[in-house]
Amino acid sequence: MSVYIKVKRRFYQDSLKLMRISGDMQEYDGIRQAFAFMGTDINKTTRIPPEVLTGEAKTAGPDDLILMIECDDAEIAENALYEFDKKMTETAASVSQSGLNHEQLPSTLDEAIAAYPDAGIAVISIPGQYAAAQAMRALQLGLNVHLFSDNVSVDDEIFLKEFAVKKGLLLMGPDCGTAIIQGVPFCFANNLRKGGIGIIAASGTGAQEVGCIIDSMGEGVSHIIGVGGRDLSERVGGIMTLYTIRLMAEDPETKVIAIVSKPPSKAVTDKIFKAVKAAGKPAVLVFMGYKGDASIYSPTLEEGAKKAVCLLTGKPAADLGTDTEINFQQNNLVSDITGKYLRGLYTGGTLASEAEYLLTENGINNYEITDLGDDQYTRGALHPMIDPASRNRMVKQAANDPSTAIILCDVVIGHGSHQNPAGELVKLLEDTNLCVLASVTGTNADPQNKSAQEAILRNAGVNVFPTNRRAVEAACKIMMGGAGK
């Protein structure tokens, strides 16, 4: 497969538009992949094969647009690049001429508040170096803040959260990917049943996985409040988690409190434990891999979801119907796999952490788990749940690496996610006989439909499991030579 590149100098474009037009171009006959992205260092590192990072592509800057086509036919590729360029130019011109952005949409926070005086939450998604100032302005104006932006300093985070608590407001984030407040989804979120379990999450995909498993059991959530991945760190000390526990304790709709996070330090864990005990409501602490008091702690997302439902309904876990028997599909799950390594390529950070925990717990050490939603991959680029290009490239590399035995992936759907992530993934697996395992985090009420996404994967020979935990456990069996036995 050959790669063809064109660079448009000083042609900055919105990332969502780049993704949409790239998707349109991939429908052209003969085109394997089409990508449009800005020439940031991280984009050039993760999206362009090293052997073609030359000439204009190598010198492209953050304000330069890179158009890239993967295709076997040079004439088709050149025509596609021409169409790619034309679509980009025409779209930019139509937006400029329409006047919609200037006449109808607020361009500042103050204008937005004037236009929507009853708004209670500001969602902030701008580069991290500017996000803290805008978050502070929103808090000063009495708005709760959903801070989607990453790359905000820890000092700024602490200052913002302490200020928010004093004002009786939420500061969700930074790097807060998921929230559902009174049934309204924010950023990456799933369509879940309304119910009595309130989720506090220092993890976006962890909250999504727990919420979706709860939904699959026929129960629902009152709220999902994201607090940002660093809230339970030693330095931040759980400022927003502790405040949110108090809010959940006072909320009549919340009957059970579930907290989802990577394991905090002992000092922070002790603070959270005391706070949920003081709240006076049943609680489960899903601290990834942490095995404390089994009456309250759960080391995996699935176990935590089941425990929360048990606390809500009073039914034992065996009655909840989620222990689906693992059935290895087709004949590509074999014990005599030729490669050595398991490659986990994840878009969800907590799902990646859960995989690492389970692999280690089962004595598997020849693996590599990559969280492609980490800051190092999203700086100057779309999150892979929105634009799967960064994972696509790494899946392709893993599939072509003879040392790869298994590829393990998550597919996360819902609001904010790519319209067909399963379809994007299976395009890369057409010419490989590798063992690929995956799970879909989502519900059938989501725009992409969980069952439909699972069917796309199965039809391409991917082995699909009901939860991330089940997929990883199956991978462990294979790596230990137990597949099909």
pTM: 0.81
> Considering only CA atoms, which of 402, 347, 342, 395 is closest in space to residue 371?
347
Show the beta-strand stretches assigned E in 39-138. Answer: 65-71, 121-124
- Residue holding tokens 């006047």? 99
136 and 163 in contact (C-beta within 8 Å)? yes
Q: Does residue 31 register a pLDDT over 60?
A: yes
187 and 146 in contact (C-beta within 8 Å)? yes
Residue 106, token pair as written in the block:
């607020």
- The whole-number average pLDDT for the span 185-193 is 94
pLDDT of 202: 93
Element (H, E) at 6: strand 2-8
> Considering only CA atoms, which of 155, 157, 170 is closest in space to residue 200?
170
The chain-wide mean pLDDT, for the chain, equals 86
Q: Does residue 190 register a pLDDT over 80?
A: yes
Least confident of 23-32, 133-142, 230-239, 356-365: 23-32
Count CA atoms within 13 Å of residue 366 on its CB side.
Answer: 10
> Considering only CA atoms, which of 268, 334, 358 is closest in space to residue 478?
334
Spatial CB neighbours of 392, under 8 Å, sequence gap ≥ 6: 33, 424, 425, 427, 428
Least confident of 216-220, 286-290, 316-320, 340-344: 316-320
In the sheet that holds 463-465, the strands lie side by side as 367-371, 341-346, 404-412, 435-441, 463-465
Q: Does residue 297 register a pLDDT over 80?
A: yes
Element (H, E) at 360: helix 349-361
Interatomic CA distance for residues 273 and 291, integer angstroms: 14
Interatomic CA distance for residues 326 and 475, integer angstroms: 11
> Domains in the chain, start-ordered, CATH in brackets?
2-99 (3.30.70), 106-174 (3.40.50.720), 177-323 (3.40.50.261), 341-479 (3.40.50.261)
The pLDDT tens digits of the residues spanning 353-397 come to 999 999 999 999 999 999 988 777 766 567 888 888 778 888 888
Instruction: Give 51-54's long-range contacts (Cβ < 8 A, gap of 24+).
Output: 52/3, 52/5
Element (H, E) at 137: helix 128-140
The pLDDT tens digits of the residues spanning 142-161 come to 999 999 888 899 999 999 99
pLDDT of 290: 85
